[in-house]
Amino acid sequence: HAFDNNGAKYDEFGNMKNWWTKEDFAEFEKRTQAEIDLFDGIKYGSVTLNGKQIVSENIADQGGLTAGIEANKNEHGDMKELFENYARIWASKESPEIIKTIAAFDVHAPGPERVNVQVQCQPEFYKAFNVKEGDGMWLDPAKRVVIW
The domains of the chain are located at: 7-143
CA distance linking residue 113 with residue 99, whole number of Å: 12
How many C-beta atoms surround the C-beta of residue 121 within 10 A? 20
Give CA 87 to chain center in angstroms.
Answer: 13
pTM, two decimals, is: 0.90
Q: How do residues 98-140 score in pLDDT, each as one tens digit?
A: 999 989 999 999 999 999 999 999 999 999 999 999 999 999 9
Task: Quickly name the fold that domain 7-143 has.
Answer: Collagenase (Catalytic Domain) (3.40.390)
Calculate the dihedral angle through the C-alpha atoms of 41, 42, 47, 52, rounding to the nearest 10 degrees.
Answer: -50
Give CA 99 to chain center in angstroms.
Answer: 19
